[in-house]
């Protein structure tokens, strides 16, 4: 597997051509209770990525959308 911080031409080319944004795990409250996709309220955050998702109910999704656009 190619690491992005490796001193290799492939890694240098990727870093030159692309912007990588690394987002840590954002569903901490759900994972604590054994939910890998759902938050603590039982909502599947992976289904809330539409442009018209409620930013007050899903502020993390809204923040990540803003970061990557």
pLDDT in tens, 31-59: 888 877 787 777 888 788 777 778 888 88
Is residue 52, in this structure, part of any structural domain at all?
yes
At 45 the pLDDT is: 80
| Angle value at C-alpha 13, between 7 and 17, nearest 5 degrees | 140
- Residue 62 in any domain: the answer is yes
CA gap 28, 66 in Å, rounded: 20
List the domain range (segments joined by +) for residue 34. 24-68
User: Domain tally for the chain?
Assistant: 1
Residue 37 near residue 27 (C-beta atoms within 8 A): yes
Per-residue confidence at 5, pLDDT binned at 50, 70, 90? Answer: confident
Euclidean distance between CA atoms 61 and 65, whole angstroms:
6
Which is nearest to 4 in space by CA: 16, 17, 12? 12
Within a domain: 8:
no
Percent of the chain residues topping a pLDDT of 70: 97
pLDDT tens for each residue of 9-34 = 988 999 999 999 888 888 877 788 88
């Amino acid at each position: 597997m190619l690491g992005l911080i490796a001193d290799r031409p492939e890694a240098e080319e990727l870093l030159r051509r692309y912007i990588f944004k690394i987002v840590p795990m954002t569903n901490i409250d759900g994972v604590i209770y054994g939910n890998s996709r759902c938050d603590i309220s039982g909502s599947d955050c992976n289904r809330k990525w539409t442009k018209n998702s409620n930013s007050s109910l899903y502020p993390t999704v809204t923040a990540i959308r803003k970061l990557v656009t």
